[in-house]
Amino acid sequence: MSIDKKIEEIKEKFEAIDGWEERYKVLIMLGKDLSPMNPEYKEEKFIVKGCQSQVWLYPEFIDGVVKYSADSDALIVKGIVSLLIHVYSGQEPDVIVNHKPDFLKELGISDHLSMNRTNGLASIVKSIKMYAFAFSLTKS
């Protein structure tokens, strides 16, 4: 499924939810539903630098697409990471690198985070794109 289609589904889901308290609950549920990350990937080299909470991001390049797994020790962050993983996993590296994650702003997520969490979110997106860029170099 394309990034745009995935984002459209997320937008429809969030637009149907009234108020940020309920949206936070959905983010927490998404975090709880995130597939467990293999414990062997929870090591220092997969920690996203710049996040207030701990976030691990593990990339794989399989059959021409990037697949991510992730985890966090903070529930809301884990929910946000779950959204990002859903959107970007299964995409070709060049598609990920060239995509602007405006949907986070459009959903209002970045507007309802503290400055530290907003910076952390930017670090997660940067890491997702950095891994994709590295994979785009190896496929050539």
Active site members:
51
43, 98, 102, 108, 128 from 47: Cα distances, Å: 7, 23, 24, 26, 12
Contacts of 38 (CB under 8 A, 6+ apart): 58, 69
Please give the distance of CA 66 from its chain centroid, rounded to a whole number. 13
Q: Which long-range contacts (CB under 8 A, 24 or more apart) does 17-20 make?
A: 20/108, 20/112
Tell me which H or E stretch contains 71: strand 65-72
DSSP bridge partners of 57: 70
Q: Which two tokens stand for residue 31?
A: 């975090």
